[in-house]
Structure formats: C-alpha cells, structure tokens
Amino acid sequence: LVYGYTIGLKENWRTVETLWNTTRTWMLENPEHLPEKSFLLWPINEKSEYNMCHFWSNFEIVDLSFYRSAAYESYFQHLDRAGGFFYERWGDAPIHSIAASMLLRKDQIHWFEDIGYRHPGNAHCPNKPEMSRNCVCDQGMNIMYTNMCGRRFKEVKDITKTQALELASLPDRKKD
C-alpha cells in the first residue's frame, strides 16, 4: 500500500479547469519521472479527457515516501509555478489523486472498502454484511458502489508509460 482511500467522487470543474492540461505538460517535460506502468486511466479517459474523479483526502492513508519522492516533488513544484492553487483553488484531493494515478500502479492504491466513512452529503458503507454490521451507515447515502468513480476504480487497468505519454500528447479537445 502506497495510497489508500475510502471515497472517490467527481471534483467541481470550476476548481480544476487547467489542472489536467498543466499535468500533461509536466508529463511530457518529465518522462523520466513516470513509472513503467500506472493507473492513469482512472482520472482520465482514452481520449485524454479529465473525468474529474478524485480520491477524497478526508480519509487517506499514504506512505509519506511517495509525497517526498523526486517525481512528486517535481510535479508539485510544476503545479505551484503554474498558479492554479491561487487562481482556480486546486485542492489537495485532485492533486493527490492525479499524482497517485499517474505515478503508481493500481496494486499500490487501495480502496478501504471494508471501512465505513461518512462526510456530510456522502458516505461509503461496506457492502458485505460481515463488514457492515459493525457500521452505523445510511445505505441511502452510500455512493461508492453506484457512482462513476467507484465503478471506474474497479474496472480500469494499468497502462504503460508509452501509453501515458501518448495520452498526454493528444490535443486538448476542449480548445478545438
């Protein structure tokens, strides 16, 4: 485990309008920092469009060596120079999510499916009776088994570094 979370949802577009294009630029300028395989197709699609999926950082467990790595530090410094923290309100959750997906394999990212978690408006309730009986959980608020980001986490596979760089080099369709 390098990165673990309980809830994954879509981010508010107004707060991340340029985050993916800024990330693509970093990827193309720093291919030496990209791993041979990554889980990059979780927050983007096959056309290199950002779907805004992000891991909620309200509950995350992270091996801090990930945030201290040369790759993460380089990425973070690039984002800082771009100014999106100030001009768009880029938050920690989408940045952690894109970084984890771009720099880690799926087997290094863990969804704590067996841990219930509630935050006003959303919740994750364990699906298995042996796990859920230990939780006080409103199943009506349970979003992880039905939302696109939760389903996508289970379905998407790792891609190669070459595929990631090809996706990063695709033209921005929103500017066409």
Residues belonging to the active site? 60
| Burial class of 12 by CB neighbour count within 10 A (0 to 12, 13 to 18, 19+) | exposed
* CA angle in degrees (0–180, nearest 5) for 93-100-66: 105
Residue with tokens 């993916």: 20
Q: Which of 40, 99, 90, 109 is nearest to 68 (CA)?
A: 99
Q: What is the C-alpha separation between 51 and 151, in angstroms, rounded? A: 13
- Mind spelling out the 3-state secondary structure of 108-153? HEEECCCCCEEECCEEECCCCHHHHCCCCCCHHHECCCCCHHHHHH
